[in-house]
Amino acid sequence: MKKRSKIFRNYINGSMLPDLLTTLIIGISIESKSSDDFAQFIKLIFLLRMKTLKCIYWRILEKFRIRSKVQEYFIDLANLLFISLWILHLFACFWFFVGVHSDPENNWIVANGLNESSTSIKYLTSLYWSAVTIM
């Protein structure tokens, strides 16, 4: 479709709303304070961009015309690694979130003596837990 009116209509009916929402989310991220829980959770709407991510991924693959089997295997491997690492990361974050929002004196963070540790150590510990549990 080369006509602007058709492109406009097609975009409005298609992915304009998720694109607008996710852009708004970035705007909210600038304004929000880290203590505001509602503003923090609204950011999850950004996951709507996963659809755009998929479209862009296929467009890039089409452009570079990946035909051979070896290339396909490498791309599949990269996909698998990306998805599994992302799920691990999600579970690690969720595990830490549960620890923070449960009983302040009796949670896994206090039990492991991580209360005063840096964020990176907390993250690595929860990532280790999720890796051991899932894999």
Partner 1 sequence: MKRAQSIKSNLSRFSQMQQSPLILKPQNFATPLVRRFIQKLKKNRDFKPNNEQLELLNDKSVVIDPKNETPNFPMNYLEITSKIISKLGVLHPYDNIKILLDILHFLLIIFYIYWMPFEICFNVKLNDGVYGMMLMFFACDILLNFNTVTFSSTFLCNFFLRHIFTMASS
Residues that bind partner 1 (CB under 8 A): 1-2, 4, 6-8, 10-11, 15-16, 19-20, 22-23, 26-27, 29-30, 34-35, 40-41, 43-44, 46-47, 49-50, 52-53, 56-57, 59-60, 62-63, 82, 86, 89-90, 93-94, 96-97, 100, 119, 122-123
CB nearer partner 1, residue 11 or residue 128 = 11
CB nearer partner 1, residue 37 or residue 105 = 37
* HEC readout, 15-71: CHHHHHHHHHHHHHHHHCCCCCHHHHHHHHHHHHHHHHHHHHHHHHHHHHCCCCHHH
CB nearer partner 1, residue 93 or residue 131 = 93
Taking the C-alpha atoms of residue 40 and residue 76, their distance in angstroms, rounded to an integer, is 33
In the complex, what is the shortest distance from the CB of residue 132 to partner 1, in angstroms, rounded to a whole number?
A: 19
C-alpha distances (whole Å) from 104 to each of 33, 36, 63, 115, 127 are 22, 19, 53, 10, 21
In the complex, what is the shortest distance from the CB of residue 72 to partner 1, in angstroms, rounded to a whole number?
A: 18
In the complex, what is the shortest distance from the CB of residue 60 to partner 1, in angstroms, rounded to a whole number?
A: 6
In the complex, what is the shortest distance from the CB of residue 55 to partner 1, in angstroms, rounded to a whole number?
A: 9
Radius of gyration of the chain (CA): 20
Angle between helices 69-101 and 119-134 in degrees, nearest 10: 120
